[in-house]
Amino acid sequence: MSQAQVTDDRPIFPAMLRGLFCRCPNCGSGRLFSGFLSVRDSCTACGTELHHHRADDAPPYFTMALVGHLVIGAVLGVEITYSPPVWLHLVIWLPLTLILSLILLRPIKGIIVGLQWALRMHGFGGTETELEEIEGNGRP
């Protein structure tokens, strides 16, 4: 069994989609988070260990990139079309930026945890020893 065959049993898209909905990347039933951004140590439904994740700064980075592109595009479109005063821009865009960031941060982190799980990264089953055991080449 090759390494590609070993990773086939963890499809990437479904795992990321489950993470998007803040669910366990393995079963899709258990909740992924115990707090706003705190990932559970393990799934309450299937028992999959989730504490291995290393999302670190990726979720805020992707959130800022996405929200920045959306908001800046909208700001420029409104400015060119209507030319509202600066105070109106501040009243509209600052709260919108904050709200979008808070709404998107958690699902984006879920996507990243799901991706890491599917790719067996950071202790989710991707070490050489574990791959050898799965393939039958290593010690049991």
pLDDT tens per residue, range 72-131: 999 999 999 999 999 999 999 999 999 999 999 999 999 999 999 999 998 888 655 454
Q: How confident is the model at residue 2 (pLDDT cuts 50, 70, 90)?
A: very low
Q: What percent of the chain has pLDDT over 70?
A: 84
Token pair for 4: 């590609």
**Which residue's structure tokens are 């299937």?**
46
Residue 40 CA to residue 19 CA, distance in Å, equals 13
User: CA-CA distance, 127 to 99, in Å (whole number)?
Assistant: 39
Global pTM exceeds 0.85:
no
Tokens 């039958």 identify what position?
Answer: 136
